[in-house]
Structure formats: C-alpha cells, structure tokens
Amino acid sequence: MTVLQSSNSTTNKVLGHPLNAWYVAAWDLEVTRKPMARRIADRPLALYRTEDGKAVALADACWHRLAPLSMGKTVGKDGIQCPYHGIVYNSAGRCASMPAQESINPSATVPSFPVVERYRFVWVWLGDPTKADPDLVPDMHQMDSPDWAGDGETIFAPCNYQLVLDNLMDLTHEEFVHASSIGQEELSESDFVVTHDDRTVTVSRWMLNIDAPPFWLKNLRDKFPGFEGKVDRWQIIRFEAPSTIRIDVGVAKAGTGAPEGDRSQGVNGYVMNTISPETAKTCHYFWAFMRNYCLDSQLITTQLRNGVHGVFGEDEAMLTAQQEAIDANPDYEFYSLNIDAGGMWVRRLIERMLQAEGRLVAAL
C-alpha cells in the first residue's frame, strides 16, 4: 500500500467505463419471470428469471428485426419469446423455435451475458465472458450479513458515473451540501490518509472530540437514550474497481477507544454504493445504509433509509447541475485540490482497466 501525494495538476473530466468488470443490473427482487429492460454500460439488456429462479441477462434485441425482447414474455423452463414475431430464445441466447418453419437458422442467436447474484444484487459482466470470474464481484458482504440490518434504493442519476465516484470519495462536500444533517466544519479541517493497491483506494478520516451532527446524534440516542457529550467520528471510504464504494461511518463517545478499534460506545454504519453507467451522461446508482445496532427495529431501518434518501437527493441535485455545466463548457478541464486525492487514484485505476481493454479515450 502506498500513500498518494496529490497535486494541483489538471485531470480529464470523465473517462469511459471498463467492460471487463461486474456491474449491478438490478436488485434481486426486481428481476422476476416478467422480463424487464435496463441499459448497463451502453448495452440494452433484457433481464428475467427462468422457471427455477435463475437470473438471465440477454441483449435486448431480437436477431430477426431487433424488437426488444424485454417487451416479450417468458415461455417454458428458461425461454423468452420475442413480442414481434414469436421467436423463442433460451437462457443461453440460442433460438429454440421460429414461427411457421421447422428448421432453425443456426445464426439465430442473441448475446447472453454472465450473471452472478450476490449481496441482494444481480451483477452482469458485459466484456470478455472468459474473464468473468465471480471472485471479482466487489465485496458488499454487509448487505446480507446477519450482523447488519438496513435497506436502500436506486437513484437514476443524469450524470456520468465518475461524477458520483468523485462525490463519494471526497466527503468534505457534506459541510456545504448537507449542512443540516451530516455536515460540519471539522470535515474540511481534519487530516485524511489515502492508500491504494491495484484494485482499491481507501480514504480514512478521523474527527476527535467534536459535537455530533444531527443525523448521528439521533442514531446515538436510538442506541443510548439521552446521550450527551462529545464524540469521535470516522469516515473510512473504500473504493473497489470499477465503481463500488463502501463507506464505514459512525460516531462513538469521545475517548472510549474507537480509533483503536473499540466502537462499543458508539454506532456504526456502512453506506453501500455501487454505480452502474448507463450512458456517458447517465447512470444507475444503487445504495443502501446498513447498521450493526438495533437490528430488529424496522422503524429505524425505514427512518435511516428515508433520511439517507433526503441526503442523497441533495447530492443528485448537485450532480445534475454539474453535468449540465460540463455539457455547457466542453473544453474545460477539472483542477484538483488536496481533497481530490482519493478520486484521482480512482481515475488512475479506471484508466488502467481501460488501457488493458484498449479502450482508453479522450475526455468527453
């Protein structure tokens, strides 16, 4: 692991999206026997489940006349029928039957993409299928661990996916965008450390002996009714290529050992984020807030989901405005501050993935 020394040099605004990677296509509960459409990494997909419950991802275009298969219906054990002329494909994308003829054209196929179901999500691999190693699915184990409880939502964000990554890798914006909930001056005043390896980037920040912001004070009082006093607060942001970020967050009573690993006198959450590019200017942002306290309280789960929904709504408004400004100033390049160190390393890792695929292109 090494520590990045950031600079004030300019950097390209956005890059493309790697294809040899796992992206979330949907929450597992979204994919049913009824086909659904979703565009991931510029590829329209038809998602459905076979009769035995296996999730399938096919290109959303019939071999015959490119009619969207997602408008069709499932048939038999694993088939999907084109809504236009009734051609049926199996889960491997091979034609199983054609109308008005017994022989099947051997070229009658549609691409089928590797799928893995893990951590309450359906993940798809849109690149070289021989490289689709399930072990490369980013770690989001808190999503389905019995030691954690929580829920999340999907945001359709009208911006390039890397703008969301930038937003999450530098949380000093909370002081200004989220001043009424989780923001406080100590965010931009505190030191942080950035480390990385060939697939991950971690930004760690501790704020000691401070007042708890409103969001965290409420959560502390859920676990410790009537809590008063100073807290130690932490944010440990971990990026895993190409677009998953887990943020270990929380507060504990000041001086009780949280920096050394004893968080028993506090509350701990994980903000789970995975962002799937749709196009160069839109993305699907899947998020959840998981906690390790008051696990049986559906009330707290709902309150937290709704509270984070409000916070992320503020982010969405800023990201939308930022994309509009980028579109209006196509020749402008970003400048980087010290706070951008984590995001700069994220871009470098994505650049390396694109270079390995021969797909590194200029900024949009």
pLDDT, tens only, 231-258:
999 999 999 999 999 999 999 999 999 9
* Contact of 144 with 120, CB cutoff 8 Å: yes
Segment among 33-37, 75-79, 286-290, 344-348 with least mean pLDDT? 344-348
State both tokens at 250. Answer: 């929380």
Q: Does residue 277 share a domain with residue 259?
A: yes
**Residue 8 resides in a domain:** no
Q: What is the pLDDT of residues 15-27, one digit of tens each?
A: 789 999 999 999 9
CA–CA dist 16, 352 (Å, integer): 11
* Contact of 245 with 273, CB cutoff 8 Å: yes
Q: Does residue 66 share a domain with residue 173?
A: no
Structural domain for 349, as ranges:
136-357
pLDDT for residue 6: 40
pLDDT for residue 182: 54
What are the beta bridge partners of residue 201?
196, 239
pLDDT for residue 10: 43
Q: How many helices and strands, by DSSP H and E, does the chain display?
A: 6, 20
Q: Does residue 154 share a domain with residue 98?
A: no
* Arithmetic mean of pLDDT, 271-292: 96
3 state SS of 149: strand
Contacts of 197-201 with CB under 8 Å at 24 or more apart are 197/1, 198/349, 198/352, 199/240, 199/241, 199/349, 200/238, 200/239, 200/240, 200/241, 201/169, 201/238, 201/239, 201/342, 201/345, 201/346, 201/349
What's the domain count of the chain? 2
Residue 208 predicted with pLDDT over 60: yes
Q: Does residue 168 share a domain with residue 60?
A: no
Q: Does residue 161 share a domain with residue 81?
A: no
Domain final residue pick, 87, 106, 126:
126
Report the CATH number at residue 37.
Answer: 2.102.10.10
Q: Does residue 182 share a domain with residue 148?
A: yes
- Region for residue 358 given its phi and psi (left: phi exceeds 0; alpha: psi -120 to 50; beta: otherwise): left
**Residue 15 resides in a domain:** no
CA–CA dist 212, 331 (Å, integer): 42
3 state SS of 301: helix
